Amino acid sequence: MDQKFDALPCYYFQFNDDCLITYANEPLCVLFGIKSEAFHGKHLNELLTISSRIFLGTHWLPMLHLQEVVNELYITLKVGVNSRIPLLVNSKRVKTETGYLTDCIGIAISGRQKIEDELIAAKTAYEAALSENAQLTSAQHELNMRAEQLSRSYGISERQNTELKQINKVVTHDLQEPMRKLLFFSEQLDGDLEGMPPNTLKKIQRLSSVIQSLKSTLSGLQEYVW
């Protein structure tokens, strides 16, 4: 393979239709810490994370066989135990004397995960804001209902107050004046009891008692209304 691929500022590798690697340039060898010869014959899956292996079998390879050129693929290399390197890959399947080979150029996009994390965080914050807004809307709706209930209660209270004022008018004016006249005539009768038959005297005394009782009742009602 031409050594000019080793000078490329990207990862270049080649694999056959069995997904066996036939070449890896120096940047890729340095990344994995092995020599180019050690890559030869490795299965491509050995370089990929589980999700990228699935993507290779379900999307990448079928698309290569259909259209031979597949660009802007996102895969993740598994380097060592914990390191993961996301790559943006352009690939082309070409026919050679020994069979089909797929040439791949990959560019590391290490900032992608950070961007995705920021997008997820922004989405989470947005959903939290929506939830909080929904709670505020619910609280506002409940406050409106309470306000309507208070308004109805206030209306009832106003009507009751008007009725009490009408009762007060009846007690203080419409009934008091006849009551004063009854008391006046009762006192006049009490002062002129001599010579009256016992039966008449008893009736007058009973009338005075009823008038006094009625006066007490009106006084109590007036205090309640006030």
As a CATH number, domain 3-109 is 3.30.450.20
**Degrees to nearest 5, angle at CA 63 with 58 and 68:** 150
The domains of the chain are located at 3-109, 175-226
The token pair that represents 53 in the structure block: 């292996």
User: Tokens 């009891």 sit at which residue?
Assistant: 193
**Among 134, 108, 110, 126, CA closest to 10:** 108
Contacts of residue 5, defined as CB under 8 A and 6 or more positions apart, other chains included, come to 12, 23, 25
Specify the pTM: 0.50
Q: What is the pLDDT of residue 170?
A: 67
Q: Following DSSP, what letter does each residue of 107-118 receive, concatenated? A: EE-THHHHHHHH
Q: What is the pLDDT of residue 122?
A: 82
Cβ–Cβ < 8 Å for 34, 49: no
Q: What is the pLDDT of residue 124?
A: 84
User: Tokens 């993740």 sit at which residue?
Assistant: 76
Q: What is the pLDDT of residue 89?
A: 94
Per-residue burial over 20-55, b = 16 or more CB atoms within 10 Å of its CB, e = otherwise:
ebbbbbbbbbebbeeebeebeebebeebbbeebbeb
Q: What is the pLDDT of residue 225?
A: 56
Cβ–Cβ < 8 Å for 179, 185: no
Our measurement of the distance from residue 171's CA atom to the centroid of its chain's CA atoms, rounded to an integer in Å, reads 59
Q: How many CB atoms lie within 10 A of CB 195?
A: 7
DSSP 8-state symbol, 19: -
Our measurement of the distance from residue 55's CA atom to the centroid of its chain's CA atoms, rounded to an integer in Å, reads 35
Divide the 226 residues of the chain into consecutive groups of 10 and give the mean pLDDT of each group.
79 95 93 89 94 94 94 91 89 93 91 70 83 83 86 81 73 68 69 68 74 74 62
User: Tokens 């940047």 sit at which residue?
Assistant: 27
